[in-house]
Amino acid sequence: MDYDVLLIGSGFGALTAAALLTKRGLKVCVLEQAKYPGGCATSYKRKGYWFETGATTLVGLDKHMPLRYLLNELDLQIPMRNLEPPMQVHLPNGEVLTRYGNLGAWIAEAERVFGKYKQREFWEHCYRVSQQVWQTSLEQRSFPFSNVKDLLKAATRVRPAQLSLLPAAFRTMHDVLLKYDLLQNHLFVDFVNEQLLITAQNHAAEVNELFGATALCYTLYSNYYVDGGLINLVNPVVDYITSNGGVVKYGQQVKAVDSLRKGYKVTTAKDSYFSRFVISGIPLNNTQELFTDKSIKQKLQLYLLPSDKLNGAFTMSLVLDGMVAPDVLHQQVHVPDGLPIIGSKSIFISFSHPADKLRAKAGEVLASVSTHVPHPEKLYIQQKEQVETGILCALERAGILDQASIKYTQSATPGAWIFWTNRAYGAVGGYPQYKSIKPWQMKDARLDHKGAYVCGDTVYPGQGIVGVCLSGIIAAEKLWQDHY
């Protein structure tokens, strides 16, 4: 065998698994089709500027959170700037809402904007649930269960507080809003729905309470900015892998994975590699296409979501000359009438930090803009200039962007995402949460119960850097549990 473990893609979930398995002494090789590592959680250089690929916010470094666990395990220090407050939201009525990181300050702000009725009770409840979810996620790393060992291991780690979370898997955030009599507060419901769309890729009627409460409370945990872009979070993990005997190969688009009597053959456009184990870090839809084993294809078919259940993104990268970044770097702008063509009702924009001298020149600011595109396979965007104009005008009306300051702009449709990443349909952000899919029904890390595994944003637990980090932790742990 060439390697103990081959990993397909260098998204943050795959890099997490690769680093943890490298630490345990396995010989790993990461195969990445692009020239930069990190997948949708990295940066790329163009025109002398470092733009973010997709993700811009960084959480997960507090106690009981997966990214903190990973950095502690690898003994890595990442230079970061704490963001307080993490975010502002421009509501349909023109009100600007500041999402403070302190729970008390945030509740006071929510009461100021939405009224005092039941806001404190709602947010205290959501925060309690989110704390329990984060702690449980690392305690129960054999979840979702797919063999007897998983169950036995889970039994040794069970706590009463974990069991108290179970009913929340059967309730949606719509149910929670109903419980606190907040459904009649339409401004608040709109706010909740657009916030959930950022983090859970769906609205309150579909997102279960476990994911929804945690998603709504992500600004109540430490939020960070990484100078030079998120690639400076990714590169230290890559360096750990390569300095401890692992290999990361770029320009290696995987074409097929064949199951052998002992191990796997992974064929790229350039070469073939052999390994005892394989971990796919790419979406389930793409993973199914690569494996030639019919039993794996059939098993994965049960978990695949079609395009009409997914979201793509329309993204813009801007260079702004002579404009000062707002004090709050992350902003969400509601667009109640919807954007042209795509109909999206909110825009998310992140600015580079004014003290970050690595991403842009002095006197210039970078901005990353994104908005959702439903059913990306069907919604082929030909007049993207109309979407661009709609976005820029909405941002200017909100007072956070001066179009006259734009020095350079580039935009990307789901079609561009297919070209850049090969992700099926150009879908990004992972699989949305749906009430019909409980957490234990999400795809777990095992593909064939022999030596093939999967991680990333389309398996448990889902979206975001912190989510895919946890999926990588689980994949590494289950591989080790199964074979060592």
- The last residue of one of the domains, among 189, 222, 255, is 222
Task: Let me know whether 74 and 150 are in one domain.
Answer: no
- Residue 3's pLDDT is what? 97
Q: Token pair for residue 215?
A: 């998603």
Total Cβ atoms within 10 A of residue 170: 12
Q: Token pair for residue 465?
A: 């850097």
Task: Let me know whether 174 and 278 are in one domain.
Answer: no
Task: Let me know whether 114 and 16 are in one domain.
Answer: no
CATH code, 250: 3.50.50.60
Task: Let me know whether 109 and 207 are in one domain.
Answer: yes
From residue 239, alpha-carbon distances to 236, 250, 253, 259 in Å are 5, 14, 21, 30
Tally the C-alpha atoms within 13 A of residue 302's C-alpha that lie toward its C-beta: 10
Bond before 144 cis per omega within 30 degrees: yes
CATH code, 358: 3.30.70
- C-alpha 471/C-alpha 236 separation (Å) is 19
Task: Let me know whether 150 and 246 are in one domain.
Answer: no
Tell me the three state secondary structure of residue 478.
helix
- The last residue of one of the domains, among 377, 408, 426, is 426
The verdict on residue 99 lying in a domain is no
- Residue 397's pLDDT is what? 96
The verdict on residue 452 lying in a domain is yes
Task: Let me know whether 108 and 198 are in one domain.
Answer: yes
Q: What's the total number of domains in the chain? A: 3
Residue type, 27: K
Task: Let me know whether 372 and 313 are in one domain.
Answer: yes
Q: Token pair for residue 162?
A: 């974990």
The verdict on residue 93 lying in a domain is no
Instruction: Write the DSSP string, 204-260.
Output: TTTSBHHHHHHHHTGGGS--EE-TT-THHHHHHHHHHHHHTT-EEESS--EEEEEE-
- C-alpha 200/C-alpha 112 separation (Å) is 26
312: left (phi over 0), alpha (psi -120 to 50) or beta: beta
The verdict on residue 51 lying in a domain is no
- Residue 446's pLDDT is what? 97
Task: Let me know whether 30 and 167 are in one domain.
Answer: no
Q: Which domain holds residue 331?
A: 307-426
- Only one residue has tokens 């396995």, namely 26
The verdict on residue 56 lying in a domain is no
The verdict on residue 86 lying in a domain is no
Task: Let me know whether 300 and 436 are in one domain.
Answer: yes
pLDDT > 90: what percent of the chain? Answer: 88
Task: Let me know whether 416 and 474 are in one domain.
Answer: no
Residue type, 399: G
The verdict on residue 87 lying in a domain is no
Q: What pTM value is reported for the model?
A: 0.96
The verdict on residue 55 lying in a domain is no
Helices 148-157 and 464-483, axial angle in degrees (round to 10): 110
- Residue 415's pLDDT is what? 86
Q: Looking at the DSSP assignment, which residues form a beta bridge with residue 349? A: 331, 369
Task: Let me know whether 365 and 446 are in one domain.
Answer: no
Task: Let me know whether 183 and 287 are in one domain.
Answer: no
- The last residue of one of the domains, among 222, 253, 279, is 222
- Those residues of the chain that have pLDDT short of 50 are none
- Residue 416's pLDDT is what? 83
CB burial readout 389-422, b (16+ within 10 A) else e: ebbbebbeebebbeeebbbeeebbbbbbbbebbb
pLDDT in tens, 365-405: 999 999 999 999 987 788 899 999 999 999 999 999 999 99
- Residue 201's pLDDT is what? 95
